[in-house]
Every structure is written in structure tokens, then in C-alpha cells.
Amino acid sequence: MNKQELALQLFDLGVLQFGSFTLKSGLQSPFYLDFRKIIAYPHILKEISEQLWELTKSLPVDHICGVPYAALSLSSTMATMHDKSMIVKRKEVKKHGTKKIVEGVFEKGDTCVVIDDVISSGISMIETLEILEQEGLKIDHVLAIVDRQQGGKDALEKHDYQVHCVYTVGEILDILLAGEKITQQQYEDTLDFIHENHISFEALRRRRLKKVAFRYSSIERQVEHPTTKKLLKIMSRKRSNLCCSGDVKTKAELLALADKVGPHICMLKTHIDNIQDFDADLPVQLKALAQKHNFLLFEDRKFADIGHIAMQQFTAAPLSIADWADVVTVHVIAGSSSVEALKATGKLDNTALIVVAEMSTKDTLTSEDYVEQAFDIALRQRDVVMGVVAQRHRPKDAELMLFSPGINMATKGDAHGQTYNHPQKAFSDRGVDVMIVGRGIYLSEDPATTAAEYQKVGWQAYLDSLPSRQ
């Protein structure tokens, strides 16, 4: 079957449809392409896969990857017919078992060609490619059945990918007009639509970022604490959900780390009582760096004693936490009186609290019931509580921010009970707002570069976790 015959058959099977269709974006389109249908017609599936293979066969690639769902059948058909290895990028991350994002057998540095059914804006393809590349795959070529000629090919080429398509929409229109499948009017309307609706990749990205701002602003409407608002602004401006936990031992190490990771984080978390050579100059210098790089200072003090003592621990010299920390953690093991006592210091105008509702250790005693009650206390004290630390889904959507430690891209835990999740999982499964990464960053060879990687992966995972994808 040649390309012309194939296009005519695709029309007859309703894969290429002409009429009036409302797209996800709300736009009215005079045509619609539904390649998910082809799994019902094995001979067509084979034909299209062969056409795609013709574009692929001379490319030096180790694997074929189909973007779910439409292109999965194409990539598996190609892989089976031509004895090629196939890999799959999951649409959603698995909750149990391997928790992998990319399935298949591959080595870092392996080459891969990625296939989608249709390229329109290119944004979903670029996001898929970024994830595959983070897994170590090398991608130079991208394939699709149809280029909608609406800007996606240009966007991909700008990102240095070579794009190969079986058809452009223009070619399909020519074939269908010649085959008397569509009228001259439909032909012209469709061409007009394509020319008038060129999708700008940058505009789409901007639109999605606005959605992020919207989710945060819906939290913002319900919070009174100025520090929460400040954090939300920093996050959207820096496109960072990353809090680096600077669990180092000396003043010099902490300041050097803060300066390196500063551009990539929204918060720097400290255990200030672990700094061997702490002196009053350290908070001054930390504040200067926080201002330079625009991040908040988060002291993870985890007050847990009776209110009277917690008040002293919060304000007492030499640490004087209340004077410099933008955010401080508190357990509610002693009940909501802990939060009330901290409020009674009169020092919570500029410092917000985060309630530790659940710990990340494998044998934590923070039971279901405990966590729920801790969430409740946090909610009731919303004027001073910014959010909660927990390992489960965000409480009562958009009312409290969710902070999650126990994040590491390289390992699953440590020798002392800590358990880790991949950022992708934390964001997609639990609606986390801020991920907290310690050793994953400060023990890496190059903390600045690693922090940049966590920032990118975390922010992307956050975007992907938004309810309505483009």
C-alpha cells in the first residue's frame, strides 16, 4: 500500500475526520485525527508501522520508544517486525513495585528514537524527551505519523531534534481532495485553520505556568501568614519546589553550600544545633545569602516538648531561632498547645510553622490516627501554620502546603531507617508542594549541578501533576 492509498483508507476508517471538533484547548477545529482507532485494524497498523520504519531504518538507534497511548501499538509493531528493542515511558508512575518511569532494558548513553502519532505544539513530546534524557537515553530523532503544521516541528527543531513525519496535514488534504473524499471548501477551511492557529510553544508553556500560579493562588487566598505568601511567590518566580537540607557540620560548609545551591532552591533547611562552630554571625550571613538568591530559611528544629519549654527553645540565645528563621517545624505530640505556646511568644508574625504530621522513617510511630489529628491541628491553626510535613497525599486539597522529605533520585534509603521516594512519585501521587533533599544534594560531587537537576525534575513533575494537562 502506498502513502496515498493508506491516507484514503485512514479516512474511510474514520481516523481522519472532517467536521467541527472541540479540541482540549477549547478551540473549534475543522478536522480531527484519532490514531487510537488503528488498533482495531491490524493491517492498517502494520502499514503505518512500515511507513514509520522506512523513516527510521537508516537511523543509528538502539531502541524505539512510543509515547502512550496512540503510539504504543506502532512502536511495538515496529519493534516486533524488525527485531528492535522497545522502551516505554510511563504515562503515570507505578505506585508499587519498581516505581520506574521508563520501562525496558537500556544503558545510559543508548540511543533512542521516539514516536508519537501526531505532532501539534510539540510540548508533550519535548516533555517526554526531557524525561527520557534524564534517564540517560540519547535522543536525536523524533517520528510521527502526521505533522499538524502548527509549530511543533519548529519547536522540536529549535531544541535540536530532527523530526520525521509520514505526512503533513497539507499532504493528507491534497490526497483526500484528489480522491474526492473532501470538498474544496473543507480543504480550504482546514488549511485556513492551520495557518491561523499556529501554536507557539512558548505561549503554551506560559499558559501552563499560569496554571501553577493559579493552584498556588488558591492556596494563597486561604492563608494569612505573610511568609507563606512569600514562599509561593519565590516558588513561581524561580520555578523551584526544591528545599535543600544543608545538614553539614560547620559554618563554612553551610554557607558555601547555600551559595552554591541558592539559585535553585526556594528554601534552605537547617539543623542549626548541629553546626559545631555556630556563632551569632551565621544567621546574619545566612540571611544575606537568602536575600541574594531569594530563598527562605527553614530551621527544622522539630519542637516537641511542653509549650513552656518549646517557647524557650524557640527564642533562647545563642541560637535565637525566632530572630532569623522564616519557617520552623513543630511536632504536635504534645498536642495543639505546642503551636499555641509558640504563638504566645509573639514571634510568629514573620516566622511560620510547619507541623510534622508524619515521619519518613520506615518504622515511624506516626500512625494513621496521629497523622489525621496532626493535620487537624495544622488546619485549625492556619494563621500561623504554613503546612505539614507528611509522606501521604496533601490534606484537604489546597488548604495547607505539603512538604516532603525522604526524596532522593539515586537511592531508596539509608542505614538508619530513612526511606526515599523519587520526586516524580512524590508529586504525581501525593500532590507535594515542596520536596526536601539533603544528602542527595550536599553529598554529591557538584551540589550546584545536582540541585539544578532536582529543581528541573521536581518542577516538571509538579507541572505534570496538575489536573488538566495540555
245 lines the binding site for ligand 5BU (CB under 6 A): yes
Contact code string over 257-296 relative to ligand 5BU, x by CB under 6 A: --------------x-------------------------
Q: Which is nearer to ligand 5BU, 423 or 438 (CB)?
A: 438
The beta strand positions in 311-411, using DSSP E, are 327-331, 352-356, 385-389, 401-404
Nearest in space to 71 (alpha carbons), one of 99, 30, 113, 43: 113
HSE, CB side, 13 Å, CA atoms: give it for residue 21: 14
The span from the CA of 294 to the CA of 276, in Å, is 26
Degrees, nearest 5: CA angle 18-23-28: 65
439 lines the binding site for ligand 5BU (CB under 6 A): yes
356 lines the binding site for ligand 5BU (CB under 6 A): yes
Active-site pick, 305, 323, 376, 464: 305
438 lines the binding site for ligand 5BU (CB under 6 A): yes
Contact code string over 400-429 relative to ligand 5BU, x by CB under 6 A: -----xx-x---------x-----------
Contact code string over 299-318 relative to ligand 5BU, x by CB under 6 A: -x------------------
436 lines the binding site for ligand 5BU (CB under 6 A): yes
Near ligand 5BU by CB under 6 A: residue from 74, 87, 327, 359: 359
Tell me which DSSP letter residue 199 carries. Answer: P
Active-site pick, 37, 229, 302, 456: 302
Active site residue 433: no
Backbone phi and psi for residue 362, each to the nearest 5 degrees, phi listed first? -70, -25
Backbone phi and psi for residue 259, each to the nearest 5 degrees, phi listed first? -70, -35
Active site residue 369: no
Q: Which is nearer to ligand 5BU, 404 or 460 (CB)?
A: 404
Give yes or no for a contact between 253 and 247, defined as CB atoms under 8 angstroms apart. no
Give yes or no for a contact between 451 and 244, defined as CB atoms under 8 angstroms apart. yes
Shortest distance (Å) from residue 243 CB to ligand 5BU: 9
User: What are the C-alpha distances in Å from 179 to residues 2, 97, 182, 186?
Assistant: 14, 51, 8, 13
389 lines the binding site for ligand 5BU (CB under 6 A): yes
The span from the CA of 389 to the CA of 360, in Å, is 9
247 lines the binding site for ligand 5BU (CB under 6 A): yes
Interface residues with ligand 5BU (CB under 6 A) are 245, 247, 271, 300, 356, 359-360, 389, 405-406, 408, 418, 436-440
Give the catalytic positions in this structure: 302, 305
